[in-house]
Structure formats: structure tokens, C-alpha cells
Amino acid sequence: MIDRTGPALALAVAAAVTSSTSGPFGKLLLEAGWSVGAVATARTGIASLALVPLALWTARRRPVRLRGRLRSVTALGVVGTAGTIVCYFNAVSRLPVGVAMMVMYTAPVLVLLYAWLRYGDRPGRRTLLGAASCVGGLFAVVGATGVDRPDPVGIAWAMGAAVCVATYFLSSDRAVAGIPPTVLGCLALLLATATTFVLGVAGALPLHVGADVVRMGGARVPALVPLLLVALVSTVFTYVAGMAAVRALGARLTSFVGLSELVATLGSAWLLLGEAPRPVQLAGGALIVLGVLLIREPVQTAMPSETVVGAGATSSRTTSGS
């Protein structure tokens, strides 16, 4: 029997790394006067349009079983995708990208707690040790930001993003068995676009475009550049790669492998926003990587569910949602 865990983990890490750029690219637009609603709607709208041809081609070649999965797909698009993006961009508009990301990535712990409390799926000692290492790393990175009193509203938005990310993991784990990853990603993004657009039309989520030029990496570039990058690289590739990895791995390990996004975020924020990581941040990143390695063990799925999600362990989220 061929072991596909290695390639799936590599794909999961790639998804996490590309997802890490969404915060810096999005913040460039927010600092140029774009509203959160405009960035979120443009991001998911462009990404979903890019995925439609591939999703249609995939649907013609492979069966798409939506029956019994509509609730999970809706939760994935409305809460897991639109909710994560809106909460995260609201958080980075008030907090450094690193702080918002660290708070948001308490989501894996929420996944573990949900599986434990809802299904009695108690993690093993190795998994608990890995979780403790990851959480310790998060605290180290957050403590290294130099922010003595983070904006409480920003923290609240980041915590909201954490809940939405946990919903993303759990919903994609249930839905992915009957729907090809490309089709599922496209459906989620279309639902997310419709959600943010309707909220914008209703006046609950302002939709206004700012300057057409932004400063990126010390240079002035058209705002279309970071917008296309956040839509096509941080979203399309991330969603497709992440969901394909979930098929082979499951939600628990996916959520923890996704923590490598934190390390990649430090690098992208440094290059694009000038937020240089400190030694204690690097130490925290090492703890996170150690935690990921400790929890790399063969598990079936993140939790017992009505739909059996392939054999295997788990993989990366297309975060970012973030």
C-alpha cells in the first residue's frame, strides 16, 4: 500500500506558506484606504472566478455528491471562509499581523477540544505534548511583538477568526469525501463572495475602494498587484492544495501543520511590512515546528463523523481562510 502521507504533508505546508501572505497583502490594501469588505469581496470574487473553469472541468470527470453535505458546505463558505477573512482583516487593521495570526491560530486547540468534548476523542500523550509545545510557541511569539496593550477590539476580531477557522477545519473534513477539492473550494469561495456582498449591500460591511497605488516592499506598485496576489496565490492555490491534503490526512493534523503558516507569516510580514522577527519569535516558531512533529502520528480523522473521510492522518487548511 502506497504511503501518501509525505506528499500530502508537503502539499499542506505549501498551502500554509502561501496562505501566510494573505495578511501582509491584505494589510497593504487596508492601509491604502480599502475597506475590509472591499478587500474580502474582491479577494474571494476573483479567486472563485479563477476556479470556476477548473471546477466545472473536474465536475464533468468526477462525481459531485452534494446530498447530505449542503449544511457542511454552507458552513464552510459562510463561516469558515467569509467569516475567517472578514474577522482576520478586521484584526490586522487594528493589530500587527503577527499578533492577529497568533490569536487566530488557537483554532487547532479548539478543534481538539471539540473532538474531545463532542465525541470523547481524547488525544494521546504525544498529541497533547505537541499541542502544549505549539501553544507555548504561540505565547512566545505573541510576547515578542512588543505590544503592551493590544487593541481589545482587534483581539476580539482575532478570536472570532479562530472560531471561524475551527469551523473551517471541521466543515471541510465532513464535506471533502463526496466533493472534489477544486469544486469544494470554488463553492466555498462563491458562497463567501455572496455573503460579503450581501452584507455590504445591506450596509453591515462597508464596501469602498481606496488608493490605486500601494507601497509594497519599499516600492510603489498598483493596488491590483497585491489584490491579485492575495486572490490567486494566497487563496486559489492555498484552498485547492489545502483541501486536497485534507482528503489524505484529516482535520486534526491539518490544523497543526497549518501552524507552519505562523513561521512563514513572520517572513512575509518582515519583507512586505518591515515587521522584523525577534529572537524570541524565532524560538517560538521552533516550538511550533516541534509541536507539529510531535503530533505527526497516524490517525483516521479529527473526529468521528457521519461521513468517513478517507484513510490517513491530516493536513493543512487553506487558512487563512486567513
Q: In angstroms, rounded to a whole number, what is the distance separating the alpha carbons of residues 117 and 190? A: 32
Whether 310 is in a domain gets the answer no
Tens of pLDDT, residue by residue over 234-243, are 888 887 777 6
Of the pLDDT bands very low, low, confident and very high (cuts 50, 70, 90), residue 310 is: very low
pLDDT at 296 over 60: no
Of the pLDDT bands very low, low, confident and very high (cuts 50, 70, 90), residue 298 is: very low
Looking up cell 468521528 gives 304
Whether 301 is in a domain gets the answer no
Q: Where are the beta strands (DSSP E) in the chain?
A: 213-216, 219-222
Q: What does the pLDDT read at residue 259?
A: 66
Which has the minimum average pLDDT: 43-52, 53-62, 174-183?
174-183
Alpha-carbon separation of residue 256 from 25, 59, 66, 159, 164 (angstroms): 23, 30, 28, 17, 16
In angstroms and rounded to an integer, the radius of gyration of the C-alpha atoms of the chain is 18
Q: Provide the number of structural domains found in the chain.
A: 1
pLDDT at 122 over 50: yes
**Mean pLDDT computed over 238-253:** 72
Whether 192 is in a domain gets the answer yes
Whether 140 is in a domain gets the answer yes
Whether 316 is in a domain gets the answer no
Note whether 197 and 19 are within 8 A (CB).
no
Question: Within a 13 Å sphere around the CA of 206, how many CA atoms are in the beta-carbon half?
Answer: 10
Domain range enclosing 172: 5-294
Q: In angstroms, rounded to a whole number, what is the distance separating the alpha carbons of residues 266 and 247? A: 28
pLDDT at 4 over 60: no
pLDDT at 131 over 70: yes
Q: What does the pLDDT read at residue 307?
A: 24
Note whether 93 and 38 are within 8 A (CB).
no
pLDDT at 38 over 90: yes
Q: What does the pLDDT read at residue 82?
A: 93
Q: What does the pLDDT read at residue 40?
A: 94
Question: Within a 13 Å sphere around the CA of 66, how many CA atoms are in the beta-carbon half?
Answer: 9
Tens of pLDDT, residue by residue over 6-22, are 777 878 888 888 888 88
Q: What does the pLDDT read at residue 316?
A: 36
Q: What does the pLDDT read at residue 119?
A: 77
Of the pLDDT bands very low, low, confident and very high (cuts 50, 70, 90), residue 45 is: very high
pLDDT at 115 over 50: yes
Of the pLDDT bands very low, low, confident and very high (cuts 50, 70, 90), residue 30 is: very high
| Share of residues in the chain with pLDDT > 70 (%) | 79
**Mean pLDDT computed over 105-131:** 78
Whether 321 is in a domain gets the answer no
Whether 312 is in a domain gets the answer no
The closest alpha carbon to 193, from 42, 58, 66, belongs to 42
Q: What does the pLDDT read at residue 297?
A: 45
Q: What does the pLDDT read at residue 1?
A: 40
Whether 302 is in a domain gets the answer no
- Return mean pLDDT, the chain: 77
